[in-house]
């Protein structure tokens, strides 16, 4: 396998609290902003266009949550390069020079949409690559970036579970302020809610935990959707196991709240939004601080 890009050493960072005092674990898998030179050279798009899929500044928005006593893990590489919120081998055979191995999942809905582990498109379905990819290069990305991140995330959740008897994963994401529509149908774009909370329709997290986050955000004046259009991706589904006291929820924040989407710069409200999220995480940490034993609600029909 080829030598990995030096820009991405290390591929992720873990910000630990001064004292581990909570079973909460925050994950920001899509906020990475280091674009390897080799990747940029292989793309038909410029860096500004590639950044449209980036959850810019989301790690900073949730950083205040570390004060509640739990760690935050954040990727340094962007999702356009490798998506941690997918299965390890959701790959599109159309993107490769050679045939894919049998263990690759080539038929998922996400692959069909161009958004597999290695994305084919960004933004309004703009093709990323100028040429087909070498399989060994992509497998190297998975081995040196994807798998270490998930091993570290598993270790953080295991530490929380062993220390507190439970773990609560908050998977932190952002979404465009308006829905993306095919060319010619721009009039159908709709403004999204301020936050979308996902718990895989009640299967990845105890109901009272996500209800508390919902309540706190609504109390602050935000509009909330539940599970639509985002119910949680691979991370929420894979790690959420409420019957064994491991809970996972996904929080999507509307980018229009905290940043200028065109220029990818922080908006004046950035610090206020970050403060609100810090308070939400603190309320959740307080809720599970002593002897919590929650139950998962029945899955939605």
Query: Based on the structure, what is the number of domains in the chain?
Result: 1
pLDDT value, residue 5: 76
pLDDT value, residue 192: 84
Answer yes or no: is 119 within a domain: no
Answer yes or no: is 107 within a domain: no
Answer yes or no: is 187 within a domain: yes
Q: Supply the CATH number for residue 190's domain.
A: 3.40.630.40
pLDDT value, residue 299: 34
Q: Note the pLDDT tens digit of each residue in 124-182.
A: 889 999 999 999 999 999 999 999 999 999 999 999 999 999 999 999 999 999 865 45
Answer yes or no: is 121 within a domain: no
Give me the domain span that covers residue 259. 6-29+54-81+136-287
Answer yes or no: is 1 within a domain: no
Answer yes or no: is 109 within a domain: no
Answer yes or no: is 98 within a domain: no
Q: Which residues of the chain have pLDDT under 50?
A: 1-3, 181, 186-188, 295-301
pTM over 0.95: no
DSSP code string of the chain? -PPPPGGGSSSEEEE--SS---SEEEEETT------HHHHHHBSS-HHHHGGGS-TTHHHHTGGGGGGT--EEEESS-TTT--TTS-TTB--GGGBSSPPPTTSB---HHHHTT-SSS-SEETTTEE-BSSPBPHHHHHHHIIIIIHHHHHHHHHHHHHHHHHHS-EEEEEEEEE-SB----TT-GGG--BPPSEEEESTTTTSS-HHHHHHHHHHHHHTT--EEESSS----HHHHHH-BGGGTEEEEEEEEEHHHHEETTTTEE-TTHHHHHHHHHHHHHHHHHHTSSS----PPPPP-
Answer yes or no: is 219 within a domain: yes
pLDDT value, residue 144: 96
Average pLDDT, the chain: 92
pLDDT value, residue 180: 57
């Amino acid at each position: 396998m080829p030598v990995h890009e030096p820009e991405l050493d290390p591929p992720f960072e873990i910000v630990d609290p001064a004292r581990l005092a909570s079973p909460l674990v925050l994950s920001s898998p899509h906020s990475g902003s280091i674009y390897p030179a080799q990747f940029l050279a292989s793309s038909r798009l410029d860096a500004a266009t590639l950044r449209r899929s980036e959850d810019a500044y989301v790690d900073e928005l949730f950083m205040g949550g570390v004060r509640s006593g739990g760690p935050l893990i954040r990727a340094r590489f962007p999702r356009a390069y490798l998506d941690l919120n997918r299965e390890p081998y959701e790959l599109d055979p159309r993107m490769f020079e050679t045939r894919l191995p049998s263990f690759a999942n080539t038929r998922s809905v996400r692959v069909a949409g161009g958004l597999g582990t290695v994305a084919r498109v960004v933004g309004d379905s703009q093709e990323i690559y100028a040429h087909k990819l070498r399989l060994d290069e992509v497998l190297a990305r998975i081995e040196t970036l994807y798998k270490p991140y998930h091993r570290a995330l598993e270790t953080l959740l295991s530490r929380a579970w062993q220390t507190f008897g439970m773990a609560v994963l908050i998977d932190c994401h952002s979404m465009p302020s308006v829905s993306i529509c095919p060319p010619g149908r721009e009039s159908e774009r709709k403004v999204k809610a301020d936050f979308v909370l996902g718990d895989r329709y009640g299967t990845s997290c105890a109901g009272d935990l996500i209800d508390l986050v919902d309540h706190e955000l609504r109390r602050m004046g935000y509009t909330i959707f539940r599970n639509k259009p985002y119910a949680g991706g691979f991370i929420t589904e894979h790690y959420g196991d409420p019957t064994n006291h491991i809970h996972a929820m996904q929080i999507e924040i509307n980018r229009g709240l905290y940043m200028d989407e065109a220029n990818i710069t922080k908006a004046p409200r950035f610090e206020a939004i970050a403060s609100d999220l810090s308070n939400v995480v603190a309320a959740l940490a307080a809720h599970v601080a002593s002897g919590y034993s929650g139950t998962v609600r029945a899955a939605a029909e």
